[in-house]
Structure formats: structure tokens, C-alpha cells
Amino acid sequence: MSIPLRAAHLSSIHSVGEQPSIFDILSQESLMKALKPAIGYLMKYLATTYPRLFLSSHRRFDEFYLLFDLFLQNQYLKKYGASFSENFYAMKRIVQCKGTMPLAYWDRMRSLLILNFCSLFRRLFVLIWPWCQTLMSTITIILQLGITNRFWRFFLSLPGVFNRLFGYGLFFVQFIDFIYNSDFGAEILKKNISWKVPPAPHKLLTEKSVQLLDTNKCPLCLRKRENDTALSVSGYVFCYKCIDTYLKKYNTCPVTGLPASSQQLIRLYIQ
């Protein structure tokens, strides 16, 4: 700011009275906020122009500016009883209990703490506040789960429930394996199969009825014979498929009821 403009600020302050106006306070705060970016731009220019001298300072600009600001504010508090920006607008700090400027050592330290470290604490608080919110939310959820005891016990009992179900499942698998691989299980399965066998599609003919059939019909399927086959124990001729299936199942002649087997079948080749 130019000298005439600074003089205008000084005249306006003295004309108002001892207490600074709100505009003066806002102006000095704006000046203090603009000081750091200005010095940062200057440090960037010096680091680009003279990298050997200023590159390390530019990389640690926050620490460098904190030390510079401490030194600057301490000198102005010691000499003028105000910070740099406050002195620029002709304002002074007054200790309320003493009515004097903070020229003593501990008074200056308190002022430096407020001027330099409050903004640092504010930035740190803004950085850690989301983590604090997350921590508080997690603690709240844990406490709520602890209060709802039944809900919490349900989740704690799930491993035991799954363990029991797993044991029952293994027992069931072993039982099924025993049924399918043991003789006892085979007998049970045979009984179940025999219960499910459907009845014969027609009544077996008696010997007199068979003798009344046409000579080219099978006594089992009552159709024209295919692959004529004679059963030696009775002499009747059947389809090979019909008589072979019947003998494997019943081991008797379907007409006479005499014991018979597939070995007593005689294939006939009729032209």
C-alpha cells in the first residue's frame, strides 16, 4: 500500500477515536492473510532464479514462514506493541488488567501464541475433524449394538448354528452313502422298486387260450412274432425279446408255469 493511502488510513483512525472500527479490523486481517501468499510467490521466484540458495527454503516454505512470522511479529510487538498488520493501520494492543501495551516478555508470548499458532491449530483441526467424526460414529454404532443385546447375541450365536448345521449335513451325507453302498440299503431299494413296478399291460393267457391264437402271434405281446424263439420246456414259440425279458424276471414259462431260464431258449430261423 502506498504512503498516501496509509496516511489516509491513519487519519481516518485518529478521527474516529480510540477504538478501531470493524472495517479497520477486517482490513488488517486481510493484510495479514495476503502476506503469506506474497512471500510464497517471492520465494518461488527466488527458488527458480537462485535454486542453490533458496530451493530448500521453498520446499520447506511453511516452516520458513512460521519462523519468519514469529520473528516479524515479535519485533513489532516489542517495538510498537502491535502486530505488523495492526501497526500498519495504527492500532495498538492494550493489556486489559494493566492498561499498558504488551511489552513484557510473557505478554508478548501470549500475543505470539494467538497470532501464529491459532491459525495452525485451526488448519490441523480442519484436517483431523473428519477422522474425529468417523471415530465418533464408530463408537456410537458399537454402543448401540451393545445396548440392543438380543441383536448382538444373534450375531454371536451364528458360528455355533453353522457349526451344528455342518455336522448334521455330514451325518446326512454319510447316511445316504451307507444306504447306497451297503447290502441293507440295496434290499431297501429293491423293495421300493418292486412296489413301484406297474402291473402287466394284459393278463397272461392260459394254455387253452394260447392254442386258439394264430400260429404267427406271440403269447406275451399278442402281436406278430419277431425273431421267433422256442422255449424247450414247453415247446411254445415267442418273440425273443418278450420271452428273454420274462424269463430273467420270473424264471417260469408264461403259459405252463414250468421252471425255465434263458439257457433253454432256442432261436428259430423261419423262411
Report domain extents, the chain.
7-134, 207-267
Using pLDDT thresholds of 50, 70 and 90, give the confidence band for residue 2: very low
pLDDT at 159: 77
Q: Are 238 and 225 in contact (CB under 8 A)?
A: yes
pLDDT at 160: 77
Q: State the Cα angle at 77 between 71 and 83, rounded to 5°.
A: 85
| pLDDT: which is higher, 104 or 21 | 21
Mean pLDDT (whole number) for 197-201: 49
Is the confidence at residue 127, as pLDDT, over 50? Answer: yes
| pLDDT: which is higher, 128 or 188 | 128
pLDDT at 5: 42
Q: Is 1.10.600.10 the CATH number for 207-267?
A: no
**Residue 238 bridge partners (DSSP):** 229
Kindly report the pTM of this predicted structure. 0.35
Alpha helices in 81-228 (DSSP H): 84-88, 105-112, 118-147, 149-181, 183-196, 207-211
Using pLDDT thresholds of 50, 70 and 90, give the confidence band for residue 192: low
Strand order of the sheet with strand 228-231? 237-239, 228-231, 265-267
Backbone angles phi, psi at 265, to 5 degrees: -85, 140
Q: Lowest mean pLDDT of 108-112, 148-152, 156-160, 224-228, name the range.
A: 148-152
Provide the Cα torsion 237, 240, 242, 243; round to 10°.
60
Q: How far apart, in whole angstroms, are the C-alpha atoms of residue 206 and residue 257?
A: 10
Q: Are 31 and 115 in contact (CB under 8 A)?
A: no
Q: How far apart, in whole angstroms, are the C-alpha atoms of residue 16 and residue 41?
A: 36
Give the SS3 label for residue 167: helix
| pLDDT: which is higher, 191 or 88 | 88
Q: Which amino acid appears at position 118 of this protein?
A: C
Give percent of the chain with pLDDT exceeding 70.
73
pLDDT at 254: 85
Q: Which amino acid appears at position 147 of this protein?
A: I
CB atoms within 10 A of CB 220: 23
Local structure of residue 217 (DSSP, 8 states):
B
